[in-house]
Structure 1
Amino acid sequence: MSATMIKEFRLPDLGEGLTESEILSWKVAVGDTVTLNQVIAEVETAKAVVELPSPFAGTVAALHEEAGSVVEVGKPIVSFEVDDAGAPPSAVASSGEVASSEVASSEVASTESPAESAAKREPNLVGYGAVVDKSGRPARRQRMFAGAPEREPVREPVPAVETVRAVETSAPPTVPSGPAVEHERPRSTPPVRKLARDLGIDLELVEGTGPGGLITRSDVQEFAAGSQAQVSVPEPAPAVVVSAERETRTPIKGVRKFTAAAMVQSAFTAPHVTEFLTIDVTPTMELLTRLKASREFAGYKLTPLTIAAKAVLIALRRNPTLNSRWDEAAQEIVQFNYVNLGIAAATPRGLTVPNIKDADKMTLLELSTALSELTDTARSGKTSPADLTGGTISITNIGVFGIDAGTPILNPGEAAIVALGSVRKAPWVHNDELAVRQVMSLSLSFDHRLVDGEQGSKFLADLGAILSDPATGMTMI
């Protein structure tokens, strides 16, 4: 009869160096038997809702976090009771006693080759866990998102964590009592550093219990609780009691928190310029009616956004500077030779901007399908992190809310965003006569570090020309 052992599953980094996620719901309970890759929880990152698969086949021994709690990356969220047959010798038995083979394994660990060490890594959400070296420094890793260009520089994520590990029985860390010795900056995340500043705590004095010595939020809170004699925290001002019927409070977290931070960063980093153009889109609306009636587009969802998206892609060919980004670290302008077209989508969880990869290579029919799938997925809250990263230019369709024009804020890392106003019937001079036509206003915001006024104006003029007369687009291909 094979023995069993307890293994913990730590919350992994679900993309773009995110530091925390909220557990929306558990799909399993203590005592449930699970299979490998079975969905065990649904979590919300700052960008999307993601289903977490089980890295083990076994029995759920404990759920360390409740639904609705916000958990830092690298913190244990669930423990499994698994069969230790074939398990790595470094595992710890469920009884808490270390197997005798573990001692021998630790003695020869330093002689293992990289290939042998990699073979002992255990599966996690995105493949295999990182190997942490003896110095406590996390192993470097590279992450590639679906559709991400190979020419993009590899981003350094938040400190890598061993996503899955055996439970260790060790004494709790002690807080150093003497003065801190000068050394490199303590490893922690921005939210943890802010918390330490708010509490007046020097991170040099805090012992990190996270992977590789990472200082976590709980480390700072425990240090503060044990240092009340040295740390003086001002008493909060008396709260003003307001009836619950007079106001509603909603925690700022998840997608809305990320969107707010991204918009503030964009607004105060990139010098925005916005231009407007009002055009007669009657020919475009007539084309849309004909396409809907055609056999080729039967059953497909066609909207003014579909035609406008295609027009944006055509106009970019003549004005490629709008399809670029500013690399502050390298002091370079990166011009993309592909288009990942972002579409701003209002969802119950907040604003998201998923993008269509390589949209410039799609036909109108393919673009129509991609737009429908993108918006349906976004509204259901199931957009993957990969679809929310790597955008090169975006469109926001404010016309669906009955708005004529606006000054859209750039999606971070992009040089331009187009806002489509509502299509309205209005008096218009057509063929030197006053007539009732279908009119739309276009708004273009761009980063003036990357795009000159002339380049932005030419792009907007080309876009307006195509939507005023779709046949004009044939001359720009």
Structure 2
Amino acid sequence: MAIASGASGASDVNCLEFKLPDLGEGLTEAEIVRWLVEIGDVVAVDQPVVEVETAKALVEVPCPYAGMVTARFGEEGAELPVGSPLLTVTVGPEVGADTGRSASGASGVSGTGAAGAGAGDSAGASGADDDSSGNVLVGYGTGGAVVARRRRVRVTGGTRTGPVPQPALRAGPVPVISPLVRRLAREHGVDLRELAGSGPDGLILRSDVEQAIRTPAADGTGRAAPVDAGRASEPVTAVAAPISATATATATAAAAGSRVPLRGMRGAVAEKLARSRREIPDATCWVDADATALMAARAAMNAAAGPAVPKISVLALLARVCTAALARFPELNSTVDMEAREIVRLPSVHLGFAAQTERGLVVPVVREADGRTTESLNEEFIRLTEAARSGALTPAELTGGTFTLNNYGVFGVDGSTPIINHPEAAMLGVGRIVPKPWVHEGELAVRQVVQLSLTFDHRVCDGGTAGGFLRYVADCVEQPAVLLRGV
């Protein structure tokens, strides 16, 4: 913990270390996008202190403690594993007065944390259960936080004063949470067993491996030397040192051009698409459809609703068509359990739709889409699209889909072979709707034509089922009244 002592005679304070919490959905790391507080700022309980990007979404992380920020760990753009130090907060009578509460109440600690401080400190822990954070983070309950008793911390110009405690080396294997850290070590020939992790309980961090890469081995064997155990636990106050010239030259020689790390949301998308190609034997069928009647029906619906009502989108109409088609062909609303060698038919349609944002492709999910009207689907599409563009989607809104609708026609293309969103069984791709020559009622005419593509998991059905699904969708596009048969 990055804590130091102040001048003698200063009153005791509690120094609390806030670690990056488990953000759910099995996520093991997050990238710091933007710090919302500076060193020396006074924060309140549940105040957002940092904005991080996970493989799922952009998240503001609230601090469960109240007090003064005395250290931050990680620059913007750095990746931190779950459980590594994020910042430290100093809580004391003076700080408590600034935040409108006592030091004990601001700290959000219970009697469990105070017990270790001895009877003489019991007064400083009273009332903690009443004022502790109600915003429960995984690993940070509303009580029971462990505190460390230290002297007052003096913050001068954003840096600390005083010694930094050195964590002891662990006996046996040292844990590594982040797959990124393991890959970085493997690519540079760093033996993780030789490193002393600077994270909590000996956890090896990315900064440990980078330091080992920068430090040549003293014995001439070419292996990276162990890192100083206390170095990487220092709070970052400047841009991290660049990788050595040797490592840079090696990377340049290996491949010309710039390199873009596959991490965060982009990395998660890459892994999911690669997994889909590895595990799913997919096939694609497509058909051209005359969408003139569908576009006319949409125009009539919007004209009848009036200008104050949100316009029904083509995506909402196609989503309504998809839910009707999945009711007829439930094989495509399923997933495959290879361990049990079973096809799992899913009871509800949770419809995902591809949305392009500044941070890359995301697939928000409309829950219980099969029970929604066209108007309800349209409202949910609008809400989720706005949240996607602002980076406000929650992990729950990005997971759990059972079927995906991909309208790549907005990019001005006619067709594609969509990659299935693992572990789903199918995806419907929709091209642009454009005027084309078409034989209509025995005569050549200019009609609004769209290409529909269905990529499906060949394990859940054969081509007859997939063709039947796609043909039904095309029939509804060409004659929207077909939907009325199932109403």
The normalised TM-score by structure 1 is: 0.78
CA offset digits 1:409-460 (Å, max 9, x no partner): 1112111111111111112111122221111100111111223212111111
Partners of 2:59 and 2:287 in 1: how far apart?
40
Moved more, 429-438 or 386-395: 429-438
- Aligned position for 2:168: 173
1:312-369 deviations in Å (ceiling 9; x for gaps): 0110000111111122344332221111111101111111111111111111111110
Q: Look up the match of 1:192.
A: 181
Partner of 1:85: 104
Whether 1:39 and 2:48 are equivalent positions in the alignment is yes
Taking the aligned partners of 1:456 and 1:163, their CA distance within structure 2 comes to: 55
Question: Contact (CA 8 Å) 2:28, 2:82: kept in 1 or not?
Answer: yes
Task: Give unmatched runs, 5+ long, in structure 1.
Answer: 105-118, 132-161
Q: Unaligned regions of 5+ residues in structure 2, if any?
A: 1-9, 93-102, 123-128, 150-163, 225-245
Q: Report the secondary structure of 2:277's partner residue.
A: helix
Residues 1:231 and 1:78: Cα distance change in structure 2 (over 3 Å)? farther
Call closer, same or farther: CA 1:186–1:63 in 2, change over 3 Å. Answer: closer
8 Å CA contact 1:259–1:351 kept in 2: the answer is yes
Whether the aligned pair in 2 keeps the contact of 1:422 and 1:441 (CA below 8 Å) is: yes
Aligned equivalent of 2:303: 293
Q: What is the CA–CA distance in structure 2 between the aligned matches of 1:452 and 1:163, rounded to whole Å?
A: 56
**Cα shift at 1:261:** 1.7
Cα contact 2:15–2:88 (8 A) shared by 1: yes
1:232 to 222, 227, 246: 222
Identity %: 39
The verdict on how the C-alpha distance between 1:389 and 1:198 changes in structure 2, with shifts beyond 3 A counting, is: same
In the alignment, the residues of structure 1 paired with residue 339 and residue 21 of structure 2 have an alpha-carbon distance, to the nearest angstrom, of 27
Q: Deviations over 1:252-284 (max 9, x none)?
A: 332222211211111122111011010111110
The change in CA–CA distance for 1:12 and 1:441 in structure 2 (over 3 A counts) is same
Query: Are the aligned partners of 1:8 and 1:164 in contact in 2 as well (CA < 8 Å)?
Result: no
Query: Which of the residues 62, 78, 82 maps onto 2:71?
Result: 62
Partner of 1:472: 482
CA distance in 2, matches of 1:473, 1:297: 26
Query: Residue in 2 aligned with 1:396?
Result: 406
- What is the rounded CA distance, in whole Å, between the counterparts of 2:336 and 2:270 in structure 1? 21
Alignment of 1:111-126 (within 5 A): 126=136
CA distance, structure 1, for counterparts of residue 120 and residue 400 of structure 2: 44
Q: Does 1:379 align with 2:389?
A: yes
- Counterpart CA distance in 2 for 1:196 and 1:238 is 18
Matched with 2:240 is none
Q: Matches of residues 227-376 of structure 1 in structure 2 within 5 Å? A: 228-229=218-219, 232-233=222-223, 238=249, 250-295=260-305, 298-376=308-386
- Structure 2 residue 35 is the aligned partner of structure 1 residue 26: yes
Aligned to 1:100: 118
* Coordinate RMSD, CA, aligned: 3.5
Cα deviation for residue 212 of structure 1 reads 6.2
Distance 2:454 2:473 in 1: 10
Q: Structure 1 residues 316 and 42, CA, compared in 2 at 3 Å: closer, same or farther?
A: same
Whole-angstrom CA distance in 1 between matches of 2:479 and 2:410: 22
Residue 472 to residue 410, structure 1, CA distance change in 2 (3 Å): same
Instruction: Give a deviation string over 1:4-41, Cα, whole Å, max 9, x none.
Output: 31111111222322222111111111222222211211
Q: As a proportion of its length, which structure holds more helix? A: 2
> Shift of residue 248 of structure 1?
6.2
Where 1:15 maps in the other structure, the secondary structure is: coil
